[in-house]
Structure formats: C-alpha cells, structure tokens
C-alpha cells in the first residue's frame, strides 16, 4: 500500500504490518503459528482472558537480563580505566517490590525520589545502604525517615537541604553520605543537547555555587561528602551530551579536590530506548565504553584520580521489557481531504500511558491475537478518555481489517507508563503482570471501582459496603466483598461515567485550551 500522506515523514508503510520490528519488543516476544504474540511464552489471548485489558505485561527475564548486562558492561569498561561503578536503578521509571528485588538480584542499587518510593524499596527488603534518595523538595519527614533507616546516600538538591539533612543525621547519631546535584548547564534529549552556562530549571544547584556549598557540607560533622551528581535529561541517544557534562563536572571535581576528598561522581541516567522503527539508541555496551573513555581522558587531562562512577538508568532497563495489552472497542475512518486516517479506540489511554499527552511521545502498535493479509492502513490508536489529546499511538500502520474485539499490543511501555498512571475519568489503573517461562503472575493488582470508591469519604459505609456489579452498576451488598476484577468492569463503569457530567466538564475544558 502506498504511503499515506497523513503519516509523519519518518513513518513508512510496512511490507507486512504484522511484523514485530526488531529492537522494540521484549526479547521473548514472538508470533506463534496461530498468529498470536506471546511474551515470556504466554499468548496475548491468554493474558487478556486471565487478567483482562488494559494490562501491563513485563517480561521478567528480559528486565533481569537488561539490568545484569548493563551492570556487567559498565563494570568491565570502568575496570578498564581503573575504577568501579555503582549502578542505581531509577525507580521512578517503574517500581514495585518485585521489580526492586529483580534489580538488587542483578547487583543494582535503587534510586528513589519520594518517601513512597523509599517505602516500596524497603518493603522489598532492599538494604537501606543500597538506596540513593533524590528530590528537589524532600519534606523534613522524608529526610528524617531516610536518615533514620540509614539510606546509603542523599542527593542534596538545594542549599537549604544541607542543614536539614545534617540536623536529621545528627538527631539519629549517624554520619550521612551525601552527593550534591549540580546543573552542568547541559540539557539533552534524544539527538540534541544544549550546553549553556546557566540552566533555568528546578533541579540541582547553580554550577558556580557548588564550591561554597561543598565547603558547607564538609563543615557539617554529620555529613560525608561523596561527590557531585548531575542528570542531563532523558531518552538520550548519543554520548555527546554526557561527554560535555562529564567534562564540566570533572573540572569542578578538580577544584573541589583542593579542599578534601571527592571519591565519587554520579553521571545520572537518561539512556534512550527505541519506541518506533526509526529510533536508533546507542547500545548500552557502546555507551559504557564511550563514557569510560571520556572520564579517563578528562581525569588524565586534569591530572586527577579517576573517581568511582555512579549512574542511574531507569528506562533503558525496564522500558523495553514492558508492553501494554488493549482491546479495540471501536474503529472509525476519518477522511481528511483525499486521505483517510483510521481511528482505533482502545479500552485504556492517557490514564495508563500519559507520555504521548505529556511529551508528544511516539509509540508503535501491532494486532496481538492474529495476523492478517489485509493491506496496511494508517491508524491512530486513541484512548477512551474525555480528551482529544488522549492518544496512545499517534501514527502506525496496522492491517486495514483491524476491528472491535482485536487485541492490540504496544511495545516499550515498561518505563514511565505505570508510574505516571492516573485515575482520570475514574478509570482504575491496570494490573501489572510478570511473564516468564510460560507463566504469568500479577505483581501489582489492578484497581477496581471499589478501590476508587473506597477513598471517597462521602460514600455511605455504615451498614453496607459499596461494590459494583459486572455491568458497572453501583450497588450495596451486605457481604462486604471486594471485587477483584481489575479491568473490564472498571472500564465499563468509567465509560458510563464519562458520558455524564464529567464528559461535559471536559468538553468545556478542551475549548478553553
Ligand atoms: C535524577 C534522575 N536520575 C535518573 C533518572 C532516570 O532517567 P532514565 O529513566 O531516562 O534513565 C531520572 C529521570 O528523570 C532522574 O531525574
């Protein structure tokens, strides 16, 4: 089929819209002889039948392998230049107790940025000393808890935190390891990076202020200064941005060495992954080699010892290991001039994947329970929410006979989808299922309407618990049983809700944007 002019320039019409494009899918993803996609040996149809849709599916072996391979690559490359690496998994990408344990078992540490993430890591049994704690506005209570449990490092993000962390550590009679997050002036995203002398953003401290702040940290007996920290952005494909930032940080490191030891340097995360057929991120092994070369060269140039290096990747470990499974509810050809775009609406949307609406992120999609010989058609996969920007996949080609009832799978949704999920339109957040060796198990339960109503203080609860029927009707029951259905029922209730007052409210909102 000819290229549809409505498609973005980068997207070409595929010879076969059933193919699982290399580099986008979890390593265990296959099409079986009956046309179904399997992940971890479990077919899309079985997953939908057992757990409902929408559903987050994580290939456990793939996630564990990526974590272990990344660590091995960085260990080897930095050993080559005479130092060691601490790899922190950035929990903000996706965190559950199960995933935290996978990461620790692969030899990684855990980077958290809230009391909630800290609680999950601790509930997973992660040793506090393996946890790094971030955040531009950690509350006093969070700082108190972090020092009390003895987290390995706290990343100081503003001048006022120096005293707050020192006080909390002193209160618990301990010396807290801290890093100082600085703005290197480098900001990177995908292929481009911007290097300025000052960065206008909320994270970290101004580069030029760092020496005075490090002196203030060193003056606190309850703090131990480990080194500088910098995170230059996300979804970064090349090494140029990291190189520029490392160079700037090591020049600062050289200055700071005059006042005391600076044993470590944290270069942050941000390694990119492929979301579409045209994304071409650097392989992790290449990144590790290039970063080691840069650090070695910059240290040699300045005549300073090579520090222990820390990194904090999230997306590159968990992103490609995850897919989201949806069911198609409606399809609608929309003619635009001479051309047609097929809108395919699924039973989830911006509540389970906010990235397209937040960042204009692109994704890819395939029919998951069959293959088709039908000519490829340009599709836009839309969600079920009351927002015209509720798009899951802005543009891809699917077999033109895609129809209600088909299962769709969107790859590379393991990072920043579940963690950014919301209850918009009172749609429950889907379950997360881990698959491996032909088995699927829930690692995070999906939310039911009962879960959502449980937080509404106005729901009468005295004699009867409120529950929902499978049709989504709200009723009371004297059994107090909690429905465990994660998706279908919740979805239909959400839809009913969105046609009422909520729908009109949102229509108003759209016109004011
Ligand atoms: C300080 C910090 N470290 C690490 C990360 C992880 O980034 P990524 O998941 O892109 O590797 C982030 C992401 O926002 C971050 O802010």
Length of the chain in terms of residues written? 513
- Residue 22 pLDDT more than 70? yes
The CA angle 6-352-122, to the nearest 5 degrees, is: 145
In sequence order, the 6+-apart residues with CB closer than 8 A to the CB of 3 are 12, 13
Best residue among 268, 310, 316 to mutate for probing ligand 1, ranked by most atoms within 8 Å of CB = 268
Average pLDDT score over residue span 11-36: 96
CB count within 10 Å of CB 507 equals 12
Write down the pTM of the prediction.
0.90
**Rounded CA gap, 94 and 313, in Å?**
11
Average pLDDT score over residue span 419-448: 98
CA 235–ligand 1 middle distance (angstroms): 9
461 is in an annotated binding site: no
CA 89–ligand 1 middle distance (angstroms): 9
Please report the pLDDT score of residue 194 as a whole number.
Answer: 76
Task: Compute the chain's Rg from CA coordinates.
Answer: 25
359 is in an annotated binding site: yes
- Residue 77 pLDDT more than 80? yes
Please report the pLDDT score of residue 477 as a whole number.
Answer: 39
What's the pLDDT tens digit per position in 170-190? 999 999 999 999 998 888 888
% of the chain beyond a pLDDT of 90: 85
458 is in an annotated binding site: no
Q: Is residue 386 among the annotated active site residues?
A: yes
**Rounded CA gap, 420 and 93, in Å?**
9
pLDDT averaged over the chain? Answer: 90
Please report the pLDDT score of residue 465 as a whole number.
Answer: 53
Tell me the CATH architecture of domain 60-316. Answer: Alpha-Beta Barrel (3.20)
- Residue 503 pLDDT more than 80? no
User: Token match 């927002």: residue?
Assistant: 387
**178, containing H or E segment:** strand 176-181
356 is in an annotated binding site: no
184, 201 Cβ separation under 8 angstroms: no
Catalytic residue among 113, 230, 299, 386: 386
Residue 317 tokens, joined: 């470990």
CA 236–ligand 1 middle distance (angstroms): 11
108, 67 Cβ separation under 8 angstroms: yes
**Rounded CA gap, 168 and 19, in Å?**
55
Average pLDDT score over residue span 342-360: 97
**What's the pLDDT band for 1 if we cut at 50, 70, 90?**
low
Please report the pLDDT score of residue 440 as a whole number.
Answer: 98
Please report, for residues 185, 228, 246, the alpha-carbon distance to residue 307 in angstroms, rounded to integers and kept in the order given.
21, 11, 12
Beta bridge mates, 189: 192, 234
Beta pairing, strands 30-31 & 37-39: antiparallel
- Residue 131 pLDDT more than 60? yes
- Residue 463 pLDDT more than 70? no
- Residue 111 pLDDT more than 70? yes
CA dihedral (279, 284, 289, 291) positive or negative: positive
In a 10 Å sphere around its CB, with 0-12 CB exposed, 13-18 middle and 19+ buried, how is residue 282 labelled? middle
Q: Which residue has the higher pLDDT, 469 or 59?
A: 59
Best residue among 66, 86, 91, 92 to mutate for probing ligand 1, ranked by most atoms within 8 Å of CB = 92
Please report the pLDDT score of residue 3 as a whole number.
Answer: 77
List the residue whose alpha carbon is closest to atom 12 of ligand 1. Answer: 269
Average pLDDT score over residue span 90-103: 98
What's the pLDDT tens digit per position in 236-270? 998 999 999 999 999 999 999 999 999 999 999 99
**Rounded CA gap, 373 and 285, in Å?**
38
Q: Which residue has the higher pLDDT, 67 or 191?
A: 67
Please report, for residues 349, 431, 488, 503, the alpha-carbon distance to residue 484 in angstroms, rounded to integers and kept in the order given.
21, 11, 11, 27
Helix or strand or coil: residue 26?
coil
**Rounded CA gap, 95 and 418, in Å?**
9
Please report the pLDDT score of residue 512 as a whole number.
Answer: 29
Best residue among 94, 269, 272 to mutate for probing ligand 1, ranked by most atoms within 8 Å of CB = 269
**380, containing H or E segment:** strand 376-382
| CATH entry 3.30.470.20 includes domain 30-59+320-443 | no
**Rounded CA gap, 409 and 54, in Å?**
10
Locate the domains of the chain by residue range: 30-59+320-443, 60-316, 447-511
135 is in an annotated binding site: no
Please report the pLDDT score of residue 197 as a whole number.
Answer: 62
**Rounded CA gap, 275 and 234, in Å?**
13
With helix as H, strand as E and coil as C, how does 63-76 read? HHHHHHHHHHHHHH
Return phi, psi of residue 502, to 5°.
-60, -40
**Rounded CA gap, 415 and 66, in Å?**
13
**What's the pLDDT band for 195 if we cut at 50, 70, 90?**
confident
CB count within 10 Å of CB 359 equals 12
229, 266 Cβ separation under 8 angstroms: yes
129 is in an annotated binding site: no
Pocket of ligand 1 (CB under 6 A): 90, 92-93, 134, 231, 234, 268-271, 312-316, 415
**Rounded CA gap, 486 and 490, in Å?**
7
Please report the pLDDT score of residue 278 as a whole number.
Answer: 95
342, 331 Cβ separation under 8 angstroms: yes
Please report the pLDDT score of residue 461 as a whole number.
Answer: 79
**58, containing H or E segment:** strand 55-59
67, 103 Cβ separation under 8 angstroms: yes
**Rounded CA gap, 402 and 416, in Å?**
28
Please report the pLDDT score of residue 200 as a whole number.
Answer: 82
**498, containing H or E segment:** helix 488-498
Q: Which of 322, 323, 365, 280 is nearest to 17 (CA)?
A: 365
- Residue 66 pLDDT more than 70? yes
Average pLDDT score over residue span 126-146: 97
Please report the pLDDT score of residue 71 as a whole number.
Answer: 98
Average pLDDT score over residue span 33-43: 97
Structure letter (DSSP) for residue 259: G
CA 28–ligand 1 middle distance (angstroms): 26
Beta pairing, strands 223-229 & 264-266: parallel
Please report the pLDDT score of residue 162 as a whole number.
Answer: 98
Beta pairing, strands 407-411 & 366-367: antiparallel
CA 128–ligand 1 middle distance (angstroms): 20
Return phi, psi of residue 29, to 5°.
-65, 130
CA 231–ligand 1 middle distance (angstroms): 7
What's the pLDDT tens digit per position in 299-324? 999 999 999 999 999 999 999 999 99
For ligand 1, what atom is nearest to the CA of residue 313? Answer: 11
For ligand 1, what atom is nearest to the CA of residue 229? Answer: 1
Please report the pLDDT score of residue 192 as a whole number.
Answer: 79
- Residue 480 pLDDT more than 70? no
**Rounded CA gap, 410 and 8, in Å?**
18
**What's the pLDDT band for 483 if we cut at 50, 70, 90?**
very low
Helix or strand or coil: residue 169?
helix
Alpha helices by DSSP H, listed for 333-484, are 355-359, 449-454
């Amino acid at each position: 089929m000819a290229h549809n002019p409505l498609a973005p320039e980068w997207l070409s019409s595929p010879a076969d819209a059933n193919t699982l494009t290399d580099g986008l899918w979890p390593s265990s993803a296959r099409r079986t002889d009956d046309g179904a996609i399997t992940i971890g040996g479990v077919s899309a149809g079985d997953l939908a039948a057992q757990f409902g849709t929408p559903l987050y599916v994580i290939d456990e072996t793939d996630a564990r392998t990526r974590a272990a391979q990344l660590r091995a690559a960085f260990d080897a490359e930095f050993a080559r230049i005479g130092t060691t690496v601490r790899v922190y998994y950035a929990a903000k990408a996706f965190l559950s107790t199960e995933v935290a344990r996978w990461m620790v078992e692969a030899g990684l540490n855990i980077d958290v940025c809230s009391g909630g993430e800290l609680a999950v890591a601790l509930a997973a049994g992660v040793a506090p000393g393996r946890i790094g704690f971030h955040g531009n506005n950690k509350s006093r209570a969070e700082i108190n808890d972090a020092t009390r449990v003895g987290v390995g490092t706290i990343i100081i993000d503003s001048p006022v935190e120096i005293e707050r962390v020192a006080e909390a550590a002193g209160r618990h009679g301990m010396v807290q390891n801290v890093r100082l997050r600085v703005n290197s002036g480098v900001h990177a995203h995908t292929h481009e990076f911007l290097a300025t002398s000052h960065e206008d953003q909320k994270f970290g401290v101004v580069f030029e202020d760092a020496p005075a702040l490090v002196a203030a940290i060193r003056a606190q007996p309850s703090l131990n200064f480990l080194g500088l920290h910098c995170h230059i952005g996300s979804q970064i494909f090349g090494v140029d941005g990291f190189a520029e930032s490392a160079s700037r940080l090591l020049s600062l490191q050289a200055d700071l060495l005059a006042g005391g030891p600076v044993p470590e340097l944290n270069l942050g995360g941000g390694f990119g992954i492929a979301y579409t057929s045209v994304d071409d991120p650097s392989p992790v092994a290449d990144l590790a080699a290039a970063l080691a070369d840069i650090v070695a060269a910059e240290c040699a140039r300045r005549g300073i010892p090579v520090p222990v290096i820390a990194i904090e990747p999230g997306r590159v470990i968990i992103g490609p290991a995850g897919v989201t499974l949806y069911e198609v509810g409606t399809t609608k050809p929309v003619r635009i001039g001479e051309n047609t775009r097929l809108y395919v609406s699924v039973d989830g949307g911006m509540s389970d994947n906010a990235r397209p609406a937040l960042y204009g992120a692109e994704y890819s999609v395939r029919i998951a329970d069959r293959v088709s010989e039908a000519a490829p058609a340009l599709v836009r996969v839309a969600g079920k929410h009351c927002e015209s920007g509720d798009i899951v996949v802005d543009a891809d080609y699917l077999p033109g006979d895609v129809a209600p009832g088909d299962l769709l799978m969107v790859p590379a949704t393991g990072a920043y989808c579940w963690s950014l999920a919301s209850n918009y339109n009172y749609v429950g957040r889907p379950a997360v299922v881990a698959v491996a060796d032909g088995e699927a198990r829930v690692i995070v339960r999906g939310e039911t309407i009962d879960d959502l109503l449980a937080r509404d203080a106005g729901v009468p609860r005295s004699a009867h618990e409120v529950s929902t029927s499978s049709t989504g009707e709200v009723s009371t029951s004297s059994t107090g049983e909690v429905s465990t259905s994660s998706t279908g029922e919740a979805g239909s209730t959400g839809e009913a809700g969105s046609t009422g007052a909520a729908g009109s409210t949102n229509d108003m909102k759209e016109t004011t944007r």
